[in-house]
Structure 1
Amino acid sequence: MEAMIAQRYVKALTSMMDAEALANTKTLFDALADAYKEKAFADIINDPQIGDAAKEELLLAIVAGADSSAVNNLIKLLVEKKRLTVIPAIAESLRLTLAGMNKTYEGKVYSNTEVEASTLAALSSDLGKKMDATITLAFVASDYDGIKVEVEDLGVEVSLSKSRMNAQLVEHILKAI
């Protein structure tokens, strides 16, 4: 639900700003989303005994350095509509929107054996060409028996499992007999 609400706000921001201003706004909302991870900050924002004016003042003080009237107005609107809890969802929606605009995505490679940096670079390049995007892959050690490449923002998952390959090989041999 919050993601759908956040998309509406991001759509409005996208129609008002160019890519550079949107990237700056994303940085601001990333900082606000990080602030929500702090228990003290989240307690202040979620406390019904603290007035909306104080919450607005706190949030505006955090983004004051940006000197952006669009961001200030958005924060005032969020306070007025009592939708401060969607700020992390707005940050995520901005990240996805900018990734789509710039065609730059991040992915992960899961394997139980170390994958070399040159292999990651080759996978990134080949997958990027296939998807017509710039993809950056990072290695994540896991207990996956094989290799799995996942780019969540694009909805792409490619995997090669040793156990599945063995099962298919045995099945093929049995069919041949």
Structure 2
Amino acid sequence: MNNIVVKKYTNALIEEFDKSELKDIIKNLELVTQAFKLNKFSAIVNSPVVAAQKKEELVFSLLENISDKFRNFLRILSQNKRLGLIPEILAGLKTKLASLNNEFIGKIYSKDEINNSQIKAMQDSLSKKFGANITLEYVKSEYNGIKVDLDELGVEISFSVDRLKQDMSEYILKAI
């Protein structure tokens, strides 16, 4: 359910604000999202005991140069007891804006180290294939092979060493 609510708030931001305003909003939402990493801040914002106005004041104290429209947006979040969704709204907003600009971020999973030139080659190849600007981030994992995940495009490409060994064994057994 949170996902649907987050999408509604994200779409509202995109519809009501222009690109320059959205950049300022993203900066401010990033500040608040950083504050959520502090247990005390998160506890206050999510507490049913603390008054909504006090929560608003706390959030506003973190922000710089906010417009009245954005201030009203945050008040609506507060009144609906959804200030805790700010990190998810930020992530949704970044994803939506990247999609509108035809830019996508993916992840490369592998237990082997992948150097920058290999990442750049994969980025260029995928960008050309999908006709979009694709940026890849390397994530060290226990995956025995390479897996590229582009969630926003619904694409997952993988090459598993274990799967290759299994397929080769099956092929050899069939040939015998």
Instruction: Tell me if the contact between 1:23 and 1:98 (Cα under 8 Å) persists in the aligned partners.
Output: no
Aligned partners of 1:123 and 1:52: how far apart in 2?
48
Structure 1 counterpart of 2:5, which letter? I
What residue in structure 2 maps to residue 127 of structure 1?
Answer: 126
Aligned partners of 2:13 and 2:19: how far apart in 1?
10
- Write the deviation string for residues 83-138 of structure 1: whole angstroms up to 9, x where unpaired: 22222221121111111112222222222222121111000111111122211112
- Write the deviation string for residues 49-73 of structure 1: whole angstroms up to 9, x where unpaired: 322211111212222x133222101
Unpaired stretches in structure 2, ≥5 consecutive residues: none
* Mapped pair 1:113 → 2:112: yes
Taking only the aligned residue pairs, the percentage that are identical comes to 36
Instruction: Tell me if the contact between 1:3 and 1:86 (Cα under 8 Å) persists in the aligned partners.
Output: no
Structure 2 counterpart of 1:91, which letter? L
What residue in structure 1 maps to residue 69 of structure 2?
Answer: 70
What residue in structure 2 maps to residue 58 of structure 1?
Answer: 58
Unpaired stretches in structure 1, ≥5 consecutive residues: none
- Write the deviation string for residues 129-149 of structure 1: whole angstroms up to 9, x where unpaired: 112221111222222211111
Aligned partners of 2:48 and 2:103: how far apart in 1?
40
What residue in structure 2 maps to residue 40 of structure 1?
Answer: 40
Instruction: Tell me if the contact between 2:104 and 2:135 (Cα under 8 Å) persists in the aligned partners.
Output: yes
What residue in structure 2 maps to residue 159 of structure 1?
Answer: 158
SS at structure 2 position matched to 1:28: helix
Range with greater deviation from structure 2 (149-158 or 90-99)? 149-158
Tell me the TM-score normalised to structure 1 length: 0.89
Tell me the TM-score normalised to structure 2 length: 0.90
Moved over 4 A (4+): none
